[in-house]
């Protein structure tokens, strides 16, 4: 979904010696973490600089704990929708669906427990405290900040991922600095209305999950929540950061990604299966939300899956390499 590795790069990685592979990994602007929020020494920028890493877990459920270093802030940006529960000292900070683009942050020396009830993928930014103004009102709110919709953070993450191996470390560092500046200027939104209670939200989420493949009206969702349309729409947006219609479209696109990655069904058939009346409308919404057309996303997803699942020694050489060798 979020990696645009070129086929030649992937093949070179697989054919390189272990030492060459380690060197390439060290040169990447954002290495993959060996464990949640665990950076290997020497795998990224110097400790006094901004470090960026990538975390993925394909399991349906997982639990993790971590403590932010005393001299750094931690910022995570969701690359795909997941369901998460964040807890600190038995205090539940967040419990619900995290759409792609969700931003959450921890201040220095903060201990956090995370439970994911779905596969997840994040970019993690480890930002030195001196990147933030001392005693800034913005930094006071970064201890337990969760923003379910931060368009700028989502675009910054997309810029990094789309460049892939082509992004140099200076580019990645500039993206990290931009994110830090964004956070110092950020004023966490104060809800003018109460958020939709969790039990009502779960009923609505389940209804969407069960019926996303057909037309669902605002009145229908409001009825499921037991509220008027006006009150439901306002409370739902406060709770999720999305209008009900936007949330439904994102849910359809996430399901479409599963079908694209795991089946060979035609795009027109997938469009109908996830609730779109035409392939054209499906492709337009898919590209707006994901930044790629469905066909390009499917190709990138399959390349990434092949990279992960195929052992290097069992992978046949491409035809052009075999021809050159002959």
Number of domains in the chain: 1
User: What burial class does residue 120 get, using C-beta atoms within 10 Å of its C-beta: 0-12 exposed, 13-18 middle, 19+ buried?
Assistant: buried
Q: Report percent pLDDT > 90 for the chain.
A: 32
In a domain, 152, yes or no: yes
| pTM for the structure as a whole | 0.65
How is 197-253 classified by DSSP, letter by letter?
PHHHHHHHHHHHHHHTTS---HHHHHHHHTS-HHHHHHHHHHHHSS-HHHHHHHHHH
Which of the 8 DSSP states describes residue 120?
E
In a domain, 315, yes or no: no
pLDDT in tens, 16-52: 344 444 444 444 556 888 889 887 655 444 445 788 8
**Res 13: pLDDT:** 36
pLDDT in tens, 71-95: 888 999 998 888 898 998 888 888 8
The CATH number of whichever domain residue 123 belongs to comes to 2.60.120.10
Q: Are 268 and 279 in contact (CB under 8 A)?
A: yes
In a domain, 37, yes or no: yes
In a domain, 101, yes or no: yes
In a domain, 238, yes or no: no
Q: What is the mean pLDDT of residues 211-229?
A: 93
Highest mean pLDDT among 3-17, 28-42, 46-60, 186-200: 46-60
Q: Which of 307, 304, 285 is nearest to 294 (CA)?
A: 285
In a domain, 223, yes or no: no
Domain containing 80 equals 31-184
pLDDT in tens, 136-175: 555 556 667 888 878 888 888 888 887 765 557 788 888 8
């Amino acid at each position: 979904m979020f990696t645009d590795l070129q086929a030649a790069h992937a093949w070179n990685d697989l054919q390189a010696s272990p030492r060459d592979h380690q060197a390439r990994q060290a040169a990447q602007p954002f290495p993959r973490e060996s464990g949640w929020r665990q950076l290997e020494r020497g795998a990224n920028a110097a400790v006094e600089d901004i470090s960026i890493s990538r975390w993925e877990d394909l399991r349906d459920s997982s639990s993790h704990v971590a403590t932010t270093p005393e001299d750094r802030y931690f910022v995570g940006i969701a690359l795909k929708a997941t369901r998460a529960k964040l807890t600190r000292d038995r205090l539940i900070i967040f419990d619900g669906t995290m759409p792609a683009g969700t931003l959450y942050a921890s201040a220095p020396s903060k201990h956090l427990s995370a439970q994911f009830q779905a596969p997840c993928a994040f970019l993690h930014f480890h930002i030195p405290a001196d990147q933030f103004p001392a005693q800034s009102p913005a930094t006071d709110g970064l201890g337990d900040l969760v923003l379910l919709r931060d368009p700028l953070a989502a675009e910054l993450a997309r810029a990094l991922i789309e460049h892939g191996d082509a992004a140099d470390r200076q580019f990645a560092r500039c993206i990290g600095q931009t994110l830090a500046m964004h956070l110092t200027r950020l004023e966490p939104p104060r809800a003018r209305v109460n958020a939709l209670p969790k039990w009502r939200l779960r009923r609505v989420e389940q209804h969407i999950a069960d019926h996303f493949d057909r037309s669902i009206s605002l009145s229908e969702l409001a009825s499921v929540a037991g509220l008027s349309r006006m009150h439901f729409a306002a409370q739902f947006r406060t709770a999720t950061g999305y209008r009900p219609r936007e949330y439904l479209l994102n849910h359809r696109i996430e399901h479409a990604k599963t079908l694209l990655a795991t089946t060979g069904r035609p795009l027109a058939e997938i469009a109908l299966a996830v609730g779109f009346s035409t392939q054209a409308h499906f492709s337009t919404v898919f590209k707006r939300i994901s930044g790629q057309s469905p066909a390009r996303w499917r190709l990138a997803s399959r390349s990434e899956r092949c990279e992960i699942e195929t052992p290097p020694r069992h992978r046949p050489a491409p035809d052009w390499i075999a021809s050159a060798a002959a």
